[in-house]
Chain A
Amino acid sequence: MKAAVLVFPGINRERDMARTLRLVSGRAPTMLWHAEHELPAGTDLVVIPGGFSYGDYLRCGAIAARAPVMDAVRAFAVRGGLVLGVCNGFQILCESGLLPGVLMRNQQLRFICRDVYLRVERSDLPFTRGYNAGQVIRVPVAHGEGNYIADGETIARLEGEGRVVFRYSSPDGMIDPNWNHNGAINAIAGIVNEAGNVLGMMPHPENHVEAAIGPTDGRGLFAGLVEALERAA
């Protein structure tokens, strides 16, 4: 795995992400500054981490989505390169047009920082091959704007094409408003693009990978990516 982690001013979860990538793949990622115009040669995974790029000014992710490096990411995605956006990274992917929809203020207007349960909807993606479809995983969220919304037509298409990858659920996998922490439409926590190579999700799988500090349910995502990239090589 030759990963590049994008760094924007105001991002603050890039080191967690780098640590996890190194831990699971055995190789430290390149930290790539937003003003760069090219990805390092041989990059096979781009990760946009969480945080508050540009202080969430204008709209979450709006300014980062227009940074020079994002043109390179867009070209990489068009070629089929794997792109993972977590939390602010998901917001940036939506703002950049790589994923549809938008993340609005949480329905209850509160910043939510806690563990949540996610139902993994499919296991046939590079991002989810480390899980079984229907499996429930426990990972943390930390966001004020995670309430996913898109127009009715887009939601119908996402659902029809099986592009909702993670949903907020109860510990036993039931979809229930009480477990849909931010009020996202259809309890959507993560989606992929049409080609299945760009994934955005609000929760932080990178923070649940070490037994010493709690559950390790996030590890499957990264282990699956390593495996997918090894097979492709």
Chain B
Amino acid sequence: MKARVTVTLKTGVLDPQGKAIEGALRSLGIAGVASVRQGKVFDIEVEGGDPARTEALLKEAADKLLANTVVENYRVDVLE
């Protein structure tokens, strides 16, 4: 079973990397970008075919390791 965990910085947490990317986009002439926040995506394959169990497992994985919930939020999407 395939799933995706997306980790993003919480609102209000300063993201120096996102700011640098924002500046680089501007200097490339890519107009209209209001702001950039950088995050992480984890594509994970889970054994078995139970979506509810997969979601619960990956929430545990995100809480324990994939995200630092002091500054990051995460979302689990079970894909198929």
Contacts and interface: CB of A to CB of B under 8 A. Distances in A.
| Majority-rule SS of A interface residues | loop
B70 interface: yes
Interface in B36-80: 64-66, 68, 70-71
Contacts of A183: 14
Interface extent on A, as a size class? 20 to 34
Contacts, number: 35
A59, A63, A107 pick with most chain B CB within 10 angstroms: A59
B71 A149 contact: yes
B77 to A, nearest CB: 20
Nearest to A97: B70
A114 to B, nearest CB: 19
A58 interface: yes
A151 B65 contact: no
A62 B70 contact: no
Interface residues of B, number: 11
B13, B17, B70 pick with most chain A CB within 10 angstroms: B70
Contacts of A147: 14, 16
A102 to B, nearest CB: 5
B20 interface: yes
A95 B68 contact: yes
Interface in A34-68: 58-59, 62-63, 66
Contacts of A107: 14, 16
B70 A105 contact: no
B24 to A, nearest CB: 12
Nearest to A108: B16
Interface string A95-107: 1000011101111
A191 to B, nearest CB: 14
A231 to B, nearest CB: 35
Interface in B10-39: 13-14, 16-17, 20
Interface in A180-231: 183
Interface of B: 13-14, 16-17, 20, 64-66, 68, 70-71
Given A101-B70, A102-B71, A105-B16, 10 more contacts: A58-B66, A59-B68, A62-B65, A104-B13, A104-B16, A104-B71, A108-B16, A109-B20, A147-B16, A149-B14
